[in-house]
Chains A and B, each alone.
Chain A
Amino acid sequence: RKEVEQDPGPFNVPEGATVAFNCTYSNSASQSFFWYRQDCRKEPKLLMSVYSSGNEDGRFTAQLNRASQYISLLIRDSKLSDSATYLCVVNGAGGSYIPTFGRGTSLIVHP
């Protein structure tokens, strides 16, 4: 089983839609969790951290479910500019600080 798994998609949604991605991790001792965004032919950039209590940043909501070992990202009112690949990152997945990236979920928002 891979340490961090994501559905690669692509998720094809119309503007204004709500879309959600999940990411599962295998190591229950994992310490911290993040979502990164990567645009085509660009570097990954931090979108948001994921806290135990859940957190919201504008149209984006991230949640952590430790019991089921997954994190989620919800995007409301999708914009064309949200089209990108969303990478899930788990620190401590290998039992150390080493960050482990998921393969990413591709989102395409169309008019």
Chain B
Amino acid sequence: DAGVIQSPRHEVTEMGQEVTLRCKPISGHDYLFWYRQTMMRGLELLIYFNNNVPIDDSGMPEDRFSAKMPNASFSTLKIQPSEPRDSAVYFCASSLLASGQETQYFGPGTRLLVL
């Protein structure tokens, strides 16, 4: 399996621009997570989906952030408008809880820099 795929790997944008991050989970996994990691706050869970349905988005910082999962093989995290404080590494992870395996498999991350 190719593992969790994220794109782009790096993104540099200017404040106010829209940013879209993409994730392809491991085929067959039923949970998908979006995380943000910074030096100051560590790894923060933003939102997670179960079978394409958003379950908990309480970690989404504000209305500028939105996430979708239109099908089992694709999810997006959108920031509109972006701000410098959104600069971070954004990870997507997937797991197969139905099998009793709670292991999360992370993608390589998207390094976002908002100028």
- Residues of chain B with a CB closer than 8 A to A87's CB: 43
Provide the bound-state CA to CA distance between A79 and B46, in Å. Answer: 34
Per-residue CB contact flags for chain B residues 9-53 toward chain A (1 = under 8 Å, else 0) read 000000000000000000000000101000000110100100000
Contact present for A99 and B45 (CB under 8 Å) = yes
- Residues of chain B with a CB closer than 8 A to A97's CB: 97
Contact present for A96 and B107 (CB under 8 Å) = no
Contact present for A96 and B45 (CB under 8 Å) = no
- Residue B54 is within 8 A (CB to CB) of chain A in the complex: no
Give the residue among B48, B104, B108 with the most A Cβ atoms within 10 A.
B104
Give the residue among B35, B43, B48 with the most A Cβ atoms within 10 A.
B43
Provide the bound-state CA to CA distance between A103 and B42, in Å. Answer: 5
- Residue A9 is within 8 A (CB to CB) of chain B in the complex: no
Per-residue CB contact flags for chain A residues 78-106 toward chain B (1 = under 8 Å, else 0) read 00000000010101000011111111100
Q: Which of A34-64 contact B (CB under 8 A)?
A: 34, 42-46, 49
Provide the bound-state CA to CA distance between A46 and B93, in Å. Answer: 12
Cross-chain contact of A32 among B35, B42, B56, B102 (Cβ < 8 A):
B102
- Residues of chain A with a CB closer than 8 A to B97's CB: 97
Contact present for A45 and B43 (CB under 8 Å) = no
Cross-chain contact of B45 among A42, A45, A98, A102 (Cβ < 8 A):
A98
- Return A106 CB to nearest CB of chain B, in Å: 11
User: In chain B, what residue has the closest Cβ to A45?
Assistant: B106
User: In chain A, what residue has the closest Cβ to B44?
Assistant: A101
Provide the bound-state CA to CA distance between A53 and B107, in Å. Answer: 31
- Residues of chain A with a CB closer than 8 A to B106's CB: 43-45
User: In chain A, what residue has the closest Cβ to B33?
Assistant: A99
Contact present for B102 and A91 (CB under 8 Å) = yes
User: In chain B, what residue has the closest Cβ to A31?
Assistant: B102
Provide the bound-state CA to CA distance between A32 and B109, in Å. Answer: 25
- Residue B71 is within 8 A (CB to CB) of chain A in the complex: no
- Residues of chain A with a CB closer than 8 A to B48's CB: 98
Q: Give 8 pairs: A residue, B residue, CB < 8 Å, sorted on A.
A: A43-B91, A45-B106, A46-B103, A49-B102, A101-B45, A102-B42, A104-B42, A104-B43
